[in-house]
Amino acid sequence: MQDRRPVAIGPLLIIGGKEDKVHTPDILLQLVRFIHKTNRANRIGIVTTASRQDHLAFRTYQQVFTRMGIDTVDALTIQSRQEANRMAWANQLKDLAALFFVGGNQLRVTSLLGGTQFNQALNQAFRQGLIVVGTSAGAAMMSATMIVEGAQDDIPTRNAVQTVTGLGLWPHAVIDQHFTQRGRLGRLLAVLAQNPAVLGVGIDEDTAIFVDQEQEWLEVWGSQTVSLVDGWSITETNAAESVPGQPLILSHVTLHVLSKGYGFHLRTRQPIRIEEETVRND
């Protein structure tokens, strides 16, 4: 079992989308249990920037978290850069245990929040232990390299995927979601061919990873699998010489497919067996 000491930098909970909220909502329940173990207020903020149906998205999670025992669920319905530069939104982060980014369009998150007062306050709160959670688009935006769009069920090519700069909460990874369900291995390999230093992370629906960057490990939660694609071991690639549409060559890529009960050490790049879920109460 992993070390349970509190971390200085906040943990990340990165969800692959379509997490169960009703029948077996294990991921969200584990999040609530973790919050209750901290010395922070029993309070979650919901950032709806990625969604065009922001009020509906908020109400959905408000009902879920209230039912699970969270005292206060705040709506952070930021829909413009002007709003994101209002100090009232930034100041609200100081009172939260966790900040939850809903799904939708990840480019809305980076284009509307990037570089704003809210973004700066988020980075500061994260360094002070704020738990940052994201599902679907809210997961994709956490890495420094963010996938915007790309071909699905296709071979990796140089132009198979479009990437931009994400919020960078996890700088050494690139995250894809709805992974197995939408056949996204090819596009993750395409990103990795051009960015082999980062860890490619593909998260299935109703599945999440709990990431502790201070202790350098992650743990898989939920019902499906997480695919970790490691480019450090690549011995040959044609990424620099290829032309758009040309299949990419990658030799000696390392792939780990992990499920609940397993984790991964980020420094040694090795999977680990977790006998009991790390953040649950004994």
pLDDT tens digits, one per residue of 229-273 = 999 999 999 999 999 889 999 999 999 999 999 999 999 999 999
The reply to whether 279 falls in a domain is no
Residue 154: per-residue pLDDT: 80
Total domains in the chain come to 1
The domain in which residue 26 lies consists of: 12-273
The reply to whether 263 falls in a domain is yes
Cβ–Cβ < 8 Å for 147, 176: yes
Q: In this predicted model, which residue has the larger pLDDT, 44 or 276?
A: 44
The reply to whether 4 falls in a domain is no
| Residue 78: pLDDT over 50 | yes
Q: Is 136 a catalytic residue?
A: yes
The reply to whether 65 falls in a domain is yes
Which residue in 19, 51, 143, 205 is the catalytic one? 205
Mean pLDDT to the nearest integer, 208-225: 97
Mean of pLDDT over the chain: 93
Element (H, E) at 211: strand 207-212
Name the pTM for this structure.
Answer: 0.93
Mean pLDDT to the nearest integer, 18-31: 97
Q: In this predicted model, which residue has the larger pLDDT, 236 or 2?
A: 236
Residue 276: per-residue pLDDT: 59
Q: In this predicted model, which residue has the larger pLDDT, 2 or 79?
A: 79
Strands 225-230 and 217-222: unpaired
pLDDT tens digits, one per residue of 89-108 = 999 999 999 999 999 999 99
Cβ–Cβ < 8 Å for 22, 52: no
* Of the candidates 176, 149, 51, 164, the residue with the CA atom closest to the CA atom of residue 111: 164
Q: In this predicted model, which residue has the larger pLDDT, 183 or 152?
A: 183
Q: Is 233 a catalytic residue?
A: no
| Residue 153: pLDDT over 80 | no
The reply to whether 2 falls in a domain is no
Cβ–Cβ < 8 Å for 240, 187: no
Here the tokens at position 242 are: 């290829």
Which residue in 136, 143, 227, 242 is the catalytic one? 136
Residue 159: per-residue pLDDT: 82
User: How does residue 280 score in pLDDT terms, banded at 50, 70 and 90?
Assistant: very low
Rounded CA separation 110/132 (Å):
15
Rounded CA separation 219/133 (Å):
14
The reply to whether 280 falls in a domain is no
The reply to whether 154 falls in a domain is yes
* Of the candidates 62, 70, 127, the residue with the CA atom closest to the CA atom of residue 93: 127
Which residue in 19, 51, 178, 219 is the catalytic one? 178
pLDDT tens digits, one per residue of 178-213 = 999 999 999 999 999 999 999 999 999 999 999 999
Inter-CA distances, 75 with 57, 99, 220, Å: 10, 10, 28
The reply to whether 128 falls in a domain is yes
CATH number at residue 69: 3.40.50.880
User: How does residue 7 score in pLDDT terms, banded at 50, 70 and 90?
Assistant: very low
pLDDT tens digits, one per residue of 106-119 = 999 999 999 999 99
Residue in the structure block whose two tokens are 């959670």:
133
Cβ–Cβ < 8 Å for 146, 50: no
Using CA of residue 53, residue 32, residue 200, residue 144, what is the dihedral sign?
positive
